[in-house]
């Protein structure tokens, strides 16, 4: 595999510092606005949902290999119909409460089966590889889907930089816990922190994206700012938000949903219309924002439509047993 060192990367591919300084300024402006609202007597509860439209732009080259004929889901739906249980279990809770998430400064610790544990600041991660815009489907195990223009680069770039040892067979992801900022973690819906994992070849697959933005802007907090994973051929819960730790392991790591209900959420969790969730079918899906009550559901595609690219990863595996 071609490894690009920072010196190989054209400066035009690197997001200008100023974009991130801008973002900081916006964050500070947001804090100031929050104080103003508090002074006006709305303290404790945001007067309105977070405003992702105020987010800083994130420059990216559109990758033509990942454009899609499907109509994009609207920015409004992508940012107001979310799963981020740390902020509550209603689809509207993340947009309402995620504003409290503190994301500056941010770093991601890399540890476990690596030559040398180290952490990467967000600024270092942003410069590690050129940013691409890729349109991917996101398919939730709850049988709805969206089409999202993500911005990021293959996680493989970070794995290369992390220099895992020959013992590394899996990659475990851990996401942030900020109890005082996250109303959902006070409830025991899941064992916090939210953890997820991939087999090494899945993590290195070029479709697996380390994601920093969507729709031309940095990630809104409800979508997992400042950095998350996106694995488009698996159910949405594999795509861990607001990453703080990556651990390379020799054995399969536990996952938050697998711990809470192992018979419902397997480690692989590949989108598979032929394997039902124990409580509902996975054969069809509802595209968010599409039509009304009588709009026909879509047929779910094997591997969420990415079979040509990823089926070979699972050759010889029984996908009913390894759900
Ligand atoms: N930390 C964390 N990551 C998470 C979740 C969560 O509750 N907490 N929910 C997952 C689920 S179930 C889905 S479907 C996707 C939703 O991503 P989106 O809100 O950006 O569409 O995030 C995933 N990542
Ligand atoms: Mo999901």
- For the chain, the structural domain boundaries read 2-314
Ligand closest to CA 89: 1
- Minimal-distance CA residue to ligand 1 atom 14: 236
- Report the atom number in ligand 1 closest to the C-alpha of 223: 20
Give residue 294's pLDDT band: very low, low, confident or very high (50, 70, 90).
confident
Which residue's entry shows tokens 């410069």?
A: 127
Who has greater pLDDT, 54 or 175?
175
Ligand closest to CA 80: 1
Q: How many C-beta atoms lie closer than 10 Å to residue 155's C-beta?
A: 26
For ligand 2, a single-atom ion, the residues with CB < 5 A are 83, 140, 236-237
Average pLDDT on 211-224 reads 98
- Alpha-carbon Rg of the chain, whole angstroms? 19
Residue 43's pLDDT is 36
Indicate the pairing of strand 132-139 with strand 61-62.
parallel
Is pLDDT at 293 greater than 90 in this prediction?
A: no
Give residue 53's pLDDT band: very low, low, confident or very high (50, 70, 90).
low
Residue 252's pLDDT is 98
Who has greater pLDDT, 29 or 199?
199
CA 152 to ligand 1 centroid distance, Å = 17
Residue 44 Ramachandran class (φ > 0 left, ψ -120 to 50 alpha, else beta) = left
Give residue 51's pLDDT band: very low, low, confident or very high (50, 70, 90).
low
- Minimal-distance CA residue to ligand 1 atom 2: 241
- Minimal-distance CA residue to ligand 1 atom 6: 84
Residue 17's pLDDT is 39
CA 142 to ligand 2 centroid distance, Å = 6
121 is known to lie in a ligand binding site = no
CA 160 to ligand 1 centroid distance, Å = 26
In the predicted model, what is the mean pLDDT of the chain?
88
- Report the atom number in ligand 1 closest to the C-alpha of 175: 1
CA 236 to ligand 1 centroid distance, Å = 6
Which residue's entry shows tokens 């997820």?
A: 196
Is pLDDT at 303 greater than 90 in this prediction?
A: yes
CA 32 to ligand 2 centroid distance, Å = 34
241 is known to lie in a ligand binding site = yes
- Report the atom number in ligand 1 closest to the C-alpha of 148: 21
Pocket test for ligand 1, best of 75, 84, 140, 289 (most atoms within 8 A of CB): 84
> Among 25-34, 65-74, 181-190, 294-303, whose mean pLDDT is lowest?
25-34
> Among 20-29, 48-57, 249-258, 262-271, whose mean pLDDT is lowest?
20-29
Residue 131's pLDDT is 98
307-317, pLDDT tens digit by residue?
A: 999 999 999 99
CA distances from 162 to 52, 109, 132, 214 (A): 32, 10, 21, 25
79-113, pLDDT tens digit by residue?
A: 999 999 999 999 999 999 999 999 999 999 999 99
Ligand closest to CA 178: 1
Average pLDDT on 231-253 reads 98
Residue 291's pLDDT is 81
239 is known to lie in a ligand binding site = yes
CATH superfamily of 2-314: Oxidoreductase, molybdopterin-binding domain (3.90.420.10)
Indicate the pairing of strand 217-218 with strand 209-214.
antiparallel
Nearest to 193 by CA among 183, 212, 179, 211: 179
CB 271 within 8 Å of CB 304: yes
Residue 111's pLDDT is 98
Residue 14's pLDDT is 39
Ligand closest to CA 78: 1
Is pLDDT at 23 greater than 80 in this prediction?
A: no
């Amino acid at each position: 595999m071609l490894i690009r060192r920072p010196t190989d990367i054209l400066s035009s591919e690197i997001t200008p510092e100023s974009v991130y300084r801008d973002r900081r300024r916006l964050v500070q402006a947001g804090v100031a606005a929050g104080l103003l609202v508090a002074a006006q007597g709305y303290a404790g509860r945001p007067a309105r949902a977070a405003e992702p439209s105020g987010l800083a732009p994130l420059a990216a080259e559109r990758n033509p290999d990942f454009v899609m004929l499907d109509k994009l889901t609207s920015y409004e739906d992508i940012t107001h119909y979310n799963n981020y249980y740390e902020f509550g279990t209603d689809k509207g809770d993340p947009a309402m409460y995620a504003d409290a998430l503190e994301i500056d400064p941010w770093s991601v610790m890399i540890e476990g089966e690596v030559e040398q544990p180290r952490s990467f600041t967000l600024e270092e991660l942003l410069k590690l590889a050129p940013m691409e815009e890729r349109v991917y489907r996101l398919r939730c195990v709850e049988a709805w889907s969206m089409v999202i223009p993500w911005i990021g680069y293959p996680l493989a770039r970070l794995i290369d930089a992390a220099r895992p040892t020959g013992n590394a067979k899996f990659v475990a992801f851990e996401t942030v816990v900020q109890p005082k900022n996250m109303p959902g973690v006070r409830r025991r819906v899941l064992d916090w922190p939210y953890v997820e994992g991939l087999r090494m070849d899945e993590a290195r697959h070029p479709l697996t994206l380390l994601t920093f933005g969507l729709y031309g802007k940095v990630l809104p907090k409800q979508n997992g700012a400042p950095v998350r994973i996106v694995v488009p051929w698996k159910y949405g819960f594999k795509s861990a938000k607001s990453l703080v730790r990556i651990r390379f392991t020799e054995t399969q790591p536990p996952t938050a949903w697998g711990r809470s209900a192992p018979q419902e959420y397997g480690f692989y969790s590949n989108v598979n219309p032929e394997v039902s969730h124990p409580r509902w079918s996975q054969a069809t899906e509802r595209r968010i924002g599409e039509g009304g009550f009588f709009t026909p559901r879509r047929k779910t595609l094997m591997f969420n439509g990415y079979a040509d690219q990823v089926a070979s990863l699972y050759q010889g595996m029984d996908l009913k047993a390894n759900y």
